[in-house]
Structure 1
Amino acid sequence: MIMDRISLRLLHAFLMLLLHLNPALGFISGVGDANVRCIERERQALLEFKKGLVDDYDKLSSWGNQDQKKNCCKWKGVHCSKHTGHVLELDLRGDSEKTQPLRGKFSSSLLELHHLSSLDLSYNDFNMSQIPKFLGSFNNLNHLYLLEAEFGGTIPYELGNLSHLESIDLSANNFNNVANLQWLSHLSSLKELVLNSINLSEAYDWADVVNRLPYLTSLSLSSCDLPPIAPSTHTHFNYSKSLTTVALSDNHQNSSIFGWLLNFNTSLVEINLTSNQLKGSIPDALGKMNSLESLNFDKNQLEGSIPKSFGNICTLSLLSLSNNKLSGQLVGFINILSGCAKDSLEILDLSLNQITGSLPDFSTFSSLKQIYVGTNNITGTVPEGIGKFHQLEVFDVSNNSMHGVVTEVHLSNLSNLWFLDLSLNSLALQLNKDWVPPFQLRVIYLSSCKLGPRFPSWLQTQWNISILDISDTGISDKIPKWFFDLPSTLQYLDMSDNRLEGLLHLFVFPPKMTVLSIAKNRFSGTASSVCKIRGGILNFLDLSDNLLSGHLPNCFMHLRKLLILNLAGNNFTGKIPSSFGSLSQLHTLNLRNNNFSGELPLPLKNCSLLKFVDLGNNKFSGSVPAWIGECLPLLNILILRSNKFGESIPLNLCWLKYLRILDLSVKNISGTIPQCFNNFTAMAQKGDLFSGIIGSNYTDSYVFDYDDTQEFVNDATVIMKGRELEYGKYLGLLKIINLASNKLTGKVPSEISSLLELVVLNISRNKLIGEIPQMIGQLKQLQSLDMSRNQFSNEIPSSMSELHFLSDLDLSYNNLSGKIPSGTQLQSFDAVDFTGNWALCGPPLPNKCPGEETPNQSDQPTDHDGNEDNEKDGDEFEKWFFAAAGFGFFIGFWGICGPLLFKSSWRGAYFLFLDDMKDWLYATKLAMCMKRLRWKFKKQG
């Protein structure tokens, strides 16, 4: 018995020993999750959570009930404790490209995961549902990531119960406007706070809340519409000494933010205030931040120079002040930074300011790797000393006024260079044809530099190129054979505006190609090589103004992400391929000056995002499609000039409320001008100076944003007085209706007078009748008006004399009658502009109106009182007097007023000056009255 008891005790002790040693053995052996099974109730909770999700891509295929899948610790995204088997982390983060998101509901079954410390559901789709309040019950949660997960509603206040939370990211969701952030102040353990791209415009307490987080190290509230910080937040708190990173870009912060930042001057390492409303000079006190490594104040309105104290920040690695109003000599900026900062500074960006002078000597900056001074007023040459910077990676001096020659001496030691931008200067690259560069460039911008006439052979050695711009570089050569096999890394290629020759169909375009422009060259052959672009990511294709010919291949279904297609100025023939209908993202379609024929294919109506369509000078036939108005609602520009379209103008075009330019001068259109043209509301609203006619939010530019910015500018031709003028960057200012040279009948609808911002109206060479609209004088912005060669009758409306900006006018060959309205405006035009109207009279026509003839002097009565001689003396005096007065009037009037008559821009400016003077006098008088009132109240007080 005693032995049995001893044996039982030993067995019990042995079992207890095994029980305690098992986790340790597992830890020591490293088997971890492989031998630990998850807790059953937690496994069931995960399966229940899965039921609420739609998994289109089988991302959770490993989650199941089969025997081999019962251990949830082996499921994708599930991480368990190696000791206990409890689920500690759930990582179901989707693809940031949003191509493989989970969808559905957030099940409360996860509450069974009592030991959960990290939850990441970012980049999924929870269908605008609210973040569940029960998340506040996860007492052990340290990390919560719900970035861009399509949550909506309000942020639950219960999240403030997560007292152990160290990091939280709720960025880029669709929450309602957040009134306050008080729930954050309870997260006493929080170290990282990220709420980017959330509307916090009403969260005036944001800085107070941040001040209450004692362990916060990283703060990121970018693109939040964040209100300016209140000065009162600078005092009341014992500020954290742990805050190292502040990212508040793209908000409404003004210069008062500097005072708040200075409270963290001993801890801050990184500050990003890009795209705010910082004005004035940069405070010298910022130079006291002796731990600062990165300072980014891009895209503000800062003035002056860099504070002298910045040269003493010995830890400063990045200083970015691009796109401000900084001014002064570049050498002065460099001298300021020549303290201990010169030994740590790696990136210096002073681009897009008003800085002058020449490039200084950077030789003392031993750590400098990236130099950006583009778009300033830098002059002089590139110093040869730049070649000593073997550590230099980026060199950007673009868009300045530099000149001179760049040789191998400048480049031979730059073995680490990968970004070179010398574009938009007067620089010439004179490099030996056998020269082999020591670098492998990824980005090359040489636009407007002198590279030619031969094709630069050194490019053959650059096999890592991602962006290559050699546009307008004076190359007049055949494309070498080695160039036809482009590097597989190439994404952006611009060789436009040269005199390059070659067969386009020999090109092999890499699959990563995003931008391709070979416009304004002499490339020939067909466009069949377009079919070889199979990557499916091409955004921009410009083959315009070459010698290309033949039919277009029907393979555009491979280019579904195309935004801009410009094939103008070639000799393409045949019909538009039906595969154009696959270009559902297309914004610009330019096919003008070719020989396309046939009707517009119906699949084109699938291109519902089109904003710019120019099909002018082709041989298209049929009627103007009604579906243009129905299916292309964003259209800004529609040019169908010089084709073979017939029938009437479809009323559906009036649905195009964003239309700015309508050109239907196509020779065969009949019927009447629709009365609904007043629905072109964009023609009644003031325009902006845009750089093309495409882009988001109906603006007129599309930007390709790589390491640098390149803009595409649409252009269109406008007919004024028989002259064809081309507009590019100013195209957005024009509002045009051109219906010339058709067979239109009936009256001009009076509704056209409501298009108050119309700049050009051409309805010449039709069969229009009736009166000119009486209210045409409302079109104050009109610069060109051509109503010639119609059958208009009756008098010219008097309101036409109020068109002060009118510089081109043609009313010839109608049936107009009566006196040309008096005033300085209409009399400034030539008589030929009114000729062919037999009953029209008055200046500038030579024929006077009835009742205005000068009486004959022989018919004057004599003085019966015998005073004829005295009257002759008086007449003689009057002749001399009026001759002198007339001469004085001639000199005074034509010296001062004459230019106003014949120079439309002066005339418009003069009348605008009078309006401004009136406003100034009114404002001045008002200011004086207010000043008197304030003085009176002050005296009474």
Structure 2
Amino acid sequence: MTMVTFLSGGSLKIVCAILVITPLVQYLRPALGFISGVGVGDANNIRCLEGERQALLEFRKGLIDDYGRLSLWQSEDENKNCCNWEGVLCSNQTGHVLELHLSGSQDDGMKPFRGMISPSLFELPYLTFLDLSSNDFNQSHIPKFIGSLNNLKHQDLSWANLSGPIPHELENLSRLQYLNLGRSDLKIIENLKWLSHMSTIEYLDLSSTYLSVVANDWLEVVSYLPNLKTLSLWLCDLPPLSLSSLSHFNYSKSFAPLETLDLHHNQFVHIPKSFGYICTLRELYLSSNNFNGQLVELMDNLSGCAKDSLEVLDLSKNHITRLLPNFSIFPSLKNLNLSENELNGTLPKSIGNLSNLELLNLSSTSLSLKFSLDWVPPFQLDRIYLTSCNLGPTFPNWIQTQRKVSFLEISDANISDTIPAEWLEDLPSTLMDLNISSNQIHGQLPNRVLLPLFPTNLTFLNLSKNRYLGSISSLCKINAQLLAFLDLSDNMLSGRLPNCFMHWRKLIVLNLSGNNFFREVPTSLGSLSGLKTLNLNNNNFSGELPSSLGNCSSLIVMDLGKNRFSGKIPAWIGESLPRLFSLSLHSNKFAGSIPLHLCWSKDLQILDLSLNDISGTIPQCLNNFTGMTRRELFYREFKLPGRILGILKIIDLSRNKLTGKLPSESLSLLGEIPSSISNLTFLSVLNLSYNYLFGKIPSSTQLQSLDAFAFAGNLGLCGPPLTQLCPGEETPNQSEPTDDVIKDKEEDEDEFRTWFYIGIGFGSPIGFWGVCIALVFDWRHAYFLLLDRMIVNLARLRRKFQTRG
């Protein structure tokens, strides 16, 4: 019997606990048994072999260790025993290196490496476990020598920024049980025949690998893997399965042990009836395909023996229409996800026969859930996602019976009722996420109920876009110390903010906009050092900004517009908020000059100081905003599209008392309009008036549909929509706009100013009105997109430990 131990600088007990909770415990069971029986003292006596130690040191040379994880990988005598090194597991009998655990997964609290996979791993012939996932190997190829590590049972190179073809040499890994190459930039250039040699494979993940060239043989190849339990081929560009490719399969035998089948985000148009005869199938993920037609027909193809074993069914993000099935034919179903389809009608009562149901996701459909007031479901749901369903007008009684729920999202559900006080006072202790926004929930709740003692596990609370009245003086009673997201915006709340924000030091997003709060902002807001978004827009706050806000050094978005703040713009904004991307102080009573310290905010891409009482000159250092020329800041923080970032660059200083010259380094717009602007199909707002532009306005449908005022004051410009002709052109045929068009433009422009007034070049020859740097394209959509994506990514963070749903 081979005894093994794993030391990485932590106690043996903690390491064992981490391994036990991994989803791969079945593959590590032998090692776990040995680890649990070995003491740390015994482990320290194990000495690695010199040749293998040198191989590890050579392997380390190929890695860039930005976080010092491998600091103990040294040749000095005190650190010479490689069996004590981070991520190394040795045999406690022979000293051979058996396993390398070098994942850069942030979920596990690790830090990623960069660099390359050194061929020195070939000098570790007894290696059975190799995990290099979630690192950055800079688009390098999978080394062919890995196919010579004949003892490998577990190989994980997922999320490792690899590219190129998958080497067919992997077919030599005849003992491999676990293979994960997903989420890189890999492709199959010939066929999948090499897979057929891996008769021991139990877990196979090739997700995000380009497989369309093997569209005709992938199903046949994997069907001959006799031990396969999990198959993940999502985002592989797989085309629809042809009937001819399915006709000769006996699925009950070919896929006898298959338990999990993940084919989401491909191009399938129907569920093969044969899938219904995989009698061991427990999880089926088919979201983001091209399924259409009626749901009852699709699910009928799963009515073979799979109907008894199926526990997870995900058909979300397709084009499935109504006619819902009899859900009672799936007695084992635990997770049902039909969200983002074209379903309508009423959810059948047969849903009440799913006594094992734990997750129900019908969000973004038009389904109605109408049950009798005294209906008590036989299930206790863990997660409920019913956004945009029709649950109202009264608050659903059946939801109050769910005492184990951790995620409850029923926003935009046509509820126009008060929430039962007894339910709010006794929320389930398991609750982590509560979203009841965008309804018509109303009433002035008593202080003891308005914000009650929420469960200590609560991380996400969204009560926005309702009709709540009254103060939030009971906010201090919330004992949810893990609260990361709090949104009470767009209600009718009023009064002073309580000075107790120090209770929620985990807060990342705080949105109180669109209410009637007044007086000073409490100093305790400064205790939120991890806060990334602060939105107090459209209230009645007054006084000076507390200097304690300078402690919120993680702030990326700060919107304090449309209040009555006064005093000077604080210098600490530039000194203490180095990550600030968007700063909005518009429509307040700020006076004095623009502080030079504001120029220290090098990542700013949105700066709105309009509609204040600011005087003095415009600092010449505004060109220090290097964020105005960089795309990656928000992409790095919230993984937003680079296209949006490249265009959303705004400075608005309009409606103040500024004097002097404009900073020529960053504000002058001079020359011809580049012709490439005509290719910007997402262009919706553009104002280049009163500059020094000349030449012909480039031709495009969108540019010529703009109002001529957008180009006014540039004496050298010509061509539509201006009446000024370019040399050699005839008079353009311009029809007069209709009254409706004029009205629509006026309403649009009014909304434009009301929410976030942008002084986009309303340059006037009399006095200085305002300035906008760069071009502004669909700014409202882009700005809201930024905030929405922040919320979405936070939600993903909250759900990182939950299973798919």
Counterpart of 2:735? 894
- How far does the alpha carbon of each residue in 1:900-922 deviate from its partner, in whole angstroms, 9 at most, with x for none? 999989xxxxxxxxxxxxxxxxx
Q: Which amino acid in structure 1 is aligned with residue 528 of structure 2?
A: L
Q: Does the aligned pair in 1 maintain the 2:122–2:145 contact within 8 Å?
A: yes
Q: Does the aligned pair in 1 maintain the 2:103–2:112 contact within 8 Å?
A: no
Q: Does the aligned pair in 2 maintain the 1:139–1:164 contact within 8 Å?
A: no
Counterpart of 2:154? 192
Counterpart of 1:216? 176
Cα offset, 1:176, TM superposition: 7.0
Residues 451/240 of structure 1: CA separation in 2 closer, same or farther (3 Å cut): closer
Cα offset, 1:54, TM superposition: 8.8
Residues 396/528 of structure 1: CA separation in 2 closer, same or farther (3 Å cut): same
Q: Does the aligned pair in 1 maintain the 2:365–2:389 contact within 8 Å?
A: no
Q: Does the aligned pair in 2 maintain the 1:479–1:500 contact within 8 Å?
A: no
Cα offset, 1:549, TM superposition: 3.5
Cα offset, 1:743, TM superposition: 0.9
Q: Aligned to 1:280, what secondary structure does the other structure show?
A: coil
Counterpart of 1:619? 564
Residues 896/277 of structure 1: CA separation in 2 closer, same or farther (3 Å cut): farther
Cα offset, 1:508, TM superposition: 0.8
1:467 and 1:485 mapped to 2: Cα distance?
A: 16
Q: Which amino acid in structure 2 is aligned with residue 249 of structure 1?
A: S
2:355 and 2:508 mapped to 1: Cα distance?
A: 40
Matched, 1:562 2:507: yes
Residues 326/439 of structure 1: CA separation in 2 closer, same or farther (3 Å cut): closer
Matches within 5 A, 1:462-541: 462-472=402-412, 473-477=414-418, 479-497=420-438, 498-501=440-443, 502-504=445-447, 506=449, 507-541=452-486
Q: Structure 1: which 5+ runs fail to align?
A: 1-32, 61-75, 91-100, 123-130, 408-430, 688-692, 702-729, 756-772, 828-841, 844-888, 906-941
1:663 corresponds to which of 594, 605, 608: 608
Q: Aligned to 1:402, what secondary structure does the other structure show?
A: strand
Residues 107/78 of structure 1: CA separation in 2 closer, same or farther (3 Å cut): farther
Matched, 1:245 2:187: no
1:181 corresponds to which of 115, 118, 143: 143
1:744 and 1:659 mapped to 2: Cα distance?
A: 21
1:601 corresponds to which of 525, 528, 546: 546
1:249 and 1:621 mapped to 2: Cα distance?
A: 55
Q: Does the aligned pair in 2 maintain the 1:207–1:233 contact within 8 Å?
A: no
2:745 and 2:519 mapped to 1: Cα distance?
A: 44
Counterpart of 2:760? none
Residues 504/342 of structure 1: CA separation in 2 closer, same or farther (3 Å cut): same
Q: Structure 2: which 5+ runs fail to align?
A: 17-33, 49-67, 105-109, 726-730, 747-805
Counterpart of 1:857? none
Counterpart of 1:323? 288
Matched, 1:229 2:70: no
Q: Percent identity?
A: 38
Q: Aligned to 1:332, what secondary structure does the other structure show?
A: helix
Counterpart of 2:122? 160
Q: Does the aligned pair in 2 maintain the 1:657–1:681 contact within 8 Å?
A: yes
1:570 and 1:903 mapped to 2: Cα distance?
A: 28
1:278 corresponds to which of 214, 229, 237: 237
Q: Does the aligned pair in 2 maintain the 1:120–1:144 contact within 8 Å?
A: no
Cα offset, 1:568, TM superposition: 1.4
Residues 743/216 of structure 1: CA separation in 2 closer, same or farther (3 Å cut): same
Q: Aligned to 2:152, what secondary structure does the other structure show?
A: coil
Which has the larger displacement, 551-560 or 538-547? 551-560
2:78 and 2:36 mapped to 1: Cα distance?
A: 12
- How far does the alpha carbon of each residue in 1:420-477 deviate from its partner, in whole angstroms, 9 at most, with x for none? xxxxxxxxxxx32x54443322222333444445444444433222122233332332
- How far does the alpha carbon of each residue in 1:134-185 deviate from its partner, in whole angstroms, 9 at most, with x for none? 9999555555544446585655545434444443434345667665434433
Q: Does the aligned pair in 1 maintain the 2:308–2:332 contact within 8 Å?
A: yes
- How far does the alpha carbon of each residue in 1:216-242 deviate from its partner, in whole angstroms, 9 at most, with x for none? 12212333x24212316636x971322
2:719 and 2:739 mapped to 1: Cα distance?
A: 13
Counterpart of 1:716? none
2:375 and 2:525 mapped to 1: Cα distance?
A: 45
2:15 and 2:152 mapped to 1: Cα distance?
A: 31
Counterpart of 2:324? 359
- How far does the alpha carbon of each residue in 1:805-831 deviate from its partner, in whole angstroms, 9 at most, with x for none? 54384999xxx8x9997754245xxxx
Matched, 1:441 2:381: yes
Matched, 1:649 2:594: yes
Counterpart of 1:105? 72
Matched, 1:313 2:278: yes
> Relative CO higher for 1 or 2, CA cutoff 8 Å, sep ≥ 6?
2
Q: Which amino acid in structure 1 is aligned with residue 283 of structure 2?
A: L
Greater Rg over alpha carbons, structure: 1
1:219 and 1:238 mapped to 2: Cα distance?
A: 13
Cα offset, 1:321, TM superposition: 1.1
Counterpart of 2:228? 269
Counterpart of 1:587? 532
Q: Does the aligned pair in 2 maintain the 1:136–1:159 contact within 8 Å?
A: no
Matched, 1:578 2:523: yes
Matched, 1:807 2:701: no
1:337 corresponds to which of 299, 302, 309: 302
1:392 and 1:782 mapped to 2: Cα distance?
A: 46
Q: Aligned to 1:310, what secondary structure does the other structure show?
A: helix
1:449 and 1:59 mapped to 2: Cα distance?
A: 45
- How far does the alpha carbon of each residue in 1:680-736 deviate from its partner, in whole angstroms, 9 at most, with x for none? 66667899xxxxx977445459xxxxxxxxxxxxxxxxxxxxxxxxxxxx9997654
Cα offset, 1:374, TM superposition: 1.6
Cα offset, 1:547, TM superposition: 3.8
1:698 and 1:201 mapped to 2: Cα distance?
A: 24
TM-score by length of 2: 0.69
Q: Does the aligned pair in 2 maintain the 1:505–1:528 contact within 8 Å?
A: no
Cα offset, 1:366, TM superposition: 5.2
Counterpart of 1:783? 685
Matched, 1:370 2:335: yes
Cα offset, 1:246, TM superposition: 0.1
Residues 345/178 of structure 1: CA separation in 2 closer, same or farther (3 Å cut): same
Cα offset, 1:752, TM superposition: 5.7
Q: Does the aligned pair in 2 maintain the 1:168–1:194 contact within 8 Å?
A: yes
Residues 196/811 of structure 1: CA separation in 2 closer, same or farther (3 Å cut): closer
Give me the CA root mean square deviation: 5.1
Q: Does the aligned pair in 1 maintain the 2:507–2:530 contact within 8 Å?
A: yes
2:416 and 2:665 mapped to 1: Cα distance?
A: 53
Residues 541/306 of structure 1: CA separation in 2 closer, same or farther (3 Å cut): same
Residues 627/607 of structure 1: CA separation in 2 closer, same or farther (3 Å cut): same
Residues 259/457 of structure 1: CA separation in 2 closer, same or farther (3 Å cut): closer
2:695 and 2:558 mapped to 1: Cα distance?
A: 35
Counterpart of 1:399? 364
Matched, 1:548 2:493: yes
- How far does the alpha carbon of each residue in 1:330-352 deviate from its partner, in whole angstroms, 9 at most, with x for none? 33322333344444433221110
